[in-house]
Amino acid sequence: MQVIFRKDKKTKDIVAFMPETLVHRYMIMSYMHIGQHSEASLEYYLSTEKANKNEYVDLYKELCGIYGEKELQIKQRLNRKLLEQWWV
């Protein structure tokens, strides 16, 4: 499963985006410490900035507890065509 770690520019919260998850059109699955799994708008994703490894390490460990480390593939950018395949 691909995961992209981004940072909210306003709140500085780290968000994991998972483009290989079934979601509504123009949405992308997200995961945060508080709130956990939720659909986020593609517009929100585009408003975030890249998070560095030091910033996302805690969230990555939390996701490894859910999915397993071998299941997660950290990516740096969104593949729009891949995301669109998962829209319903």
* Neighbour tally for 72: CB within 10 Å: 17
Confidence check: pLDDT of 69 > 90:
no
Predicted TM-score (pTM) of this structure: 0.94
Q: How far apart are CA 36 and CA 32, in angstroms?
A: 5
- What is the CB neighbour count within 10 angstroms for residue 59? 19
Contact 29, 39 (CB under 8 A): yes
Cβ 22 vs Cβ 81: under 8 Å: no
| DSSP helix/strand/coil, 65 | helix
Per-residue pLDDT of 7-57, as tens digits, reads 999 999 999 999 999 999 999 999 998 878 999 999 999 999 999 999 999
> Per-domain residue ranges for the chain?
2-77
